[in-house]
């Protein structure tokens, strides 16, 4: 879909020849003498149109309007949140119609800001999105061009450009998350990262099984052992400023399919475990957006990618493995595998001497129980980092919620047979999982996003959401304006690793 932004008056909008005209009608609209606003005002007075976000009225070949179809849609208080609902409703109303070109009039809004336009662009693309990679018969929207008209396009060009970058990032994240596991193996995911690495400002490095073993990533390799698909450790780099400036590191869980391993999952809805790499997909999507936005910040992306399968070589409940940090882990439940691949990635992140590390993972069903599909779970070992991520969630409409990290939650991770167990029982499962990860983050400012409830939808609307790409992008853009510590002033901190028994390696 192509997007365009242009300056246009209310009267000019009515004269434009498009297949459809979407008129956003706020609750405080002041009608002008143009046909569109008079039509909207008349519909509101008659009670045929409510100004609540998403309420709409459609008409065909309206007098004084050149567009064949006119969609009047309530925009409420014209906030970004209201615009998101309005655009989603309007585009959904046109998706099945023979509409290829659409003009969206923002002229009736009291004030069009960057955030308002950004929300409208992202919502439009989200509503029109249709997955088709393995479904050639997919009835994709016929929408080919959407033009946004406002009284002064130059004033909101930055919001428009950011919206376009977000659309590219979100759709890349959706694409890889929606693919079935046989179309999104660790090797194929690494291939996607290589393609990203060809964009200006981006670089990609792919580590295979031998390199992973040489690093001593015993926890990561333990998860991959039961699969015939070889693991890959993906390293992405975006260099937006001087190399001496410490980067932000994003770590995405890349379990391309999760059976649960020997602690196998129930068959019902196991197909949705292709979404267990949504953390990895969100990192890919964020880097795609960075390539267009070009903020003055350095960012590293780490993706430990593998499958978790049951096999004669699979790790067993009760096995003990040695992580890259040197800490031994008793694996009491092989379905708690995400934290095992992430803990080694957290240790690997130390070499970058990062200013902050954020890991993103579809980690626990407990987080779904706690927060549902509205907000992602946020765990932060640093209040400043936690607040920055909360603020980014609010500004991007990609909400999260701060969860506790009290030391008492780690009591259940104690074991007689290793430094730490990988599970601590059902109670507070999202928190104890975060406490496990926190053990491997002592060398830097760290936060964890549990996106198990927000990364995809089930039921009739089954599919990836692309979250938390908007949150991560807003966080990184905010950090680009902050003072950055220099790596040259930080002493190298490399964790010593214990020898990993060969019987525990893939």
- Is-contact 297 248, C-beta < 8 A? yes
Active-site residue (options: 84, 115, 288, 339): 339
Interior angle at CA 196, CA 195 and CA 200, nearest 5? 115
In whole angstroms, give the CA distance from residue 392 to residue 384: 12
Q: Is 84 a catalytic residue?
A: no
Q: Where are the beta strands (DSSP E) in 335-467?
A: 356-361, 376-380, 400-402, 420-421, 446-450, 456-457, 463-464
From 365, 380, 381, select the one nearest 428 (Cα to Cα).
365
User: Could you give the count of Cα atoms lying within 13 Å of 458 in the half-sphere of its Cβ?
Assistant: 12
Backbone angles phi, psi at 245, to 5 degrees: -85, 130
In whole angstroms, give the CA distance from residue 30 to residue 291: 40
From 49, 63, 67, 59, select the one nearest 13 (Cα to Cα).
67
Name every residue whose Cβ is closer than 8 Å to that of residue 463 and which is 6 or more positions away in sequence: 131, 174, 178, 456, 457
In whole angstroms, give the CA distance from residue 362 to residue 378: 12
Name every residue whose Cβ is closer than 8 Å to that of residue 125 and which is 6 or more positions away in sequence: 1, 3, 167, 170, 171
Q: Where are the beta strands (DSSP E) in 167-231?
A: 202-207
Q: Give SS3 for 457.
A: strand
Q: Count CB atoms within 10 A of the CB of residue 102.
A: 25
Q: Examine residue 468 and say whether the peptide bond preceding it is cis (omega within 30 degrees of 0).
A: yes
From 60, 130, 134, select the one nearest 92 (Cα to Cα).
130
Backbone angles phi, psi at 331, to 5 degrees: -90, 95
In whole angstroms, give the CA distance from residue 321 to residue 339: 13
- Is-contact 55 5, C-beta < 8 A? no
Pairing of strands 319-322, 232-239: unpaired
Report which secondary-structure segment, H or E, holds 389: helix 383-396
Q: Count CB atoms within 10 A of the CB of residue 486.
A: 12
- Is-contact 279 342, C-beta < 8 A? no
- Is-contact 401 425, C-beta < 8 A? no
Q: Is 467 a catalytic residue?
A: no
Active-site residue (options: 203, 237, 265, 462): 265
Question: Could you give the residue numbers annotated as active site?
Answer: 265, 339
């Amino acid at each position: 879909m192509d997007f365009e932004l242009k300056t246009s008056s209310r009267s000019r909008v009515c004269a434009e020849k498009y297949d459809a005209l979407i008129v956003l009608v706020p609750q405080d609209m002041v009608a002008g003498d143009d046909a569109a606003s008079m039509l909207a005002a008349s519909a509101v007075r008659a009670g045929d149109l409510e100004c609540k976000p998403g309420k709409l009225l459609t008409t065909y070949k309206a007098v004084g309007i050149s567009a064949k179809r006119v969609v009047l849609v309530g925009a409420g208080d014209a906030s970004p949140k209201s615009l998101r609902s309005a655009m989603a409703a309007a585009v959904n109303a046109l998706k099945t119609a023979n509409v290829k070109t659409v003009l969206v009039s923002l002229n009736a809004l009291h004030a069009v800001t960057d955030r308002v336009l950004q929300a409208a662009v992202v919502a439009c693309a989200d509503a029109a999105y249709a997955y088709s990679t393995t479904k050639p018969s997919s009835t994709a929207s016929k929408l080919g061009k959407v033009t946004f008209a406002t009284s002064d396009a130059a004033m909101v060009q930055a919001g428009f450009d950011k919206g376009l970058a977000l659309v590219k990032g979100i759709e890349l994240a959706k694409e890889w998350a929606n693919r079935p596991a046989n179309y999104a193996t660790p090797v194929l995911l690494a291939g996607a990262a290589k393609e990203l690495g060809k964009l200006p400002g981006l670089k990609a490095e792919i580590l295979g099984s031998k390199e992973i073993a040489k690093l001593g990533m015993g926890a990561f390799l333990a998860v991959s052992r039961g699969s015939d698909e070889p693991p890959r450790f993906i390293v992405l780099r975006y260099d937006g400023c001087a190399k001496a400036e410490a980067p932000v590191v994003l770590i995405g869980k890349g379990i391309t399919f999760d059976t649960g391993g020997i602690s196998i999952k129930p068959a019902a809805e196991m197909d949705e475990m292709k979404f267990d790499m949504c953390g990895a997909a969100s990192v890919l999507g964020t880097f795609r957006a960075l390539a267009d936005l070009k903020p003055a910040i350095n960012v590293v992306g780490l993706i430990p990618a593998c499958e978790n399968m049951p096999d004669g070589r699979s790790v067993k409940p009760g096995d003990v493995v040695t992580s890259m940090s040197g800490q031994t882990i008793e694996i009491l439940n092989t379905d708690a595998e995400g934290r095992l691949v992430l803990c080694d990635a957290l240790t690997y992140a130390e070499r970058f001497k990062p200013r902050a590390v954020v890991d993103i993972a579809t980690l626990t069903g407990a987080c779904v129980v706690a927060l549902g599909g509205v907000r992602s779970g946020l765990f932060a070992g640093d209040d400043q980092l936690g607040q920055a991520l909360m603020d980014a969630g609010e500004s991007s409409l990609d909400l999260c919620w701060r969860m506790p990290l009290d030391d008492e939650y780690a009591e259940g991770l104690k074991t007689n047979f290793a430094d730490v167990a990988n599970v601590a029982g059902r109670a507070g499962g999202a928190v104890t999982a975060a406490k496990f990860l926190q053990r491997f983050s002592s060398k830097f400012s760290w936060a964890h996003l549990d996106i198990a409830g927000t990364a995809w939808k089930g039921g009739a609307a089954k599919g990836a959401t692309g979250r938390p790409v908007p949150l991560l992008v807003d966080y990184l853009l905010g950090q680009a304006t902050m003072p950055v510590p220099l790596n040259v002033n930080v002493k190298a901190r490399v964790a010593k690793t214990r020898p990993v028994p060969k019987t525990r390696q893939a």
